[in-house]
Amino acid sequence: VQLQASGGGLVQAGNSLRLSCTASGSTSFSRNTIAWFRQAPGKEREFVAGFFRGSDRTYYTDSVKGRFTVSRDHAKNTAFLQMNILRPEDTAVYYCATSTSVILSYFRDPRYYQYWGQGTLVTVSS
């Protein structure tokens, strides 16, 4: 599975960005667990949002609830992260990741994901 992430950039606080993550090499992307993580300078990679396996239920870290929305287009093998009301503390490299085997208990742990996109930089200025 190869993941290609895109959509990052430089925006002012309060504005929006939409990240995309397109998968190739797999026919089961829609049934996999798909998650967005981010890593700010000097910090550990952290879970942002995602889907667990084929469920339509979405999960978010508390700091982005109400501002970010994760979605996916099964036909296009693509996941999205719509980020609204961006804050300077959202500045990070954002990664999409997928796993065929992670269990719910470790869903937010990046160590349990087999496939990663290359990362896309989001910079939010104040």
What confidence tens digit (pLDDT) does each residue in 41-90 have? Answer: 999 999 999 999 988 899 999 999 999 999 999 889 999 999 999 999 99
- Is pLDDT of 18 > 90? yes
Scored b (16 or more CB within 10 A) or e, 61-93 reads beebeeebebebeeeebbbbbebeebeeebbbb
**Confidence tier at 113 by pLDDT (50, 70, 90):** very high
**Confidence tier at 28 by pLDDT (50, 70, 90):** low
* H/E segment holding residue 10: strand 9-12
Structure confidence at residue 47 (pLDDT): 98
Chain mean pLDDT for the chain: 94
Structure confidence at residue 87 (pLDDT): 98
- CA angle 58–47–118, rounded 5-degree value: 105
- Phi then psi dihedrals of residue 80, to 5 deg: -130, 155
- Is pLDDT of 29 > 80? no
Q: Is 40 helix (H, G, I), strand (E, B) or coil?
A: coil
Determine the average pLDDT of the residues in 23-32.
Answer: 76
Structure confidence at residue 1 (pLDDT): 85
Structure confidence at residue 26 (pLDDT): 66
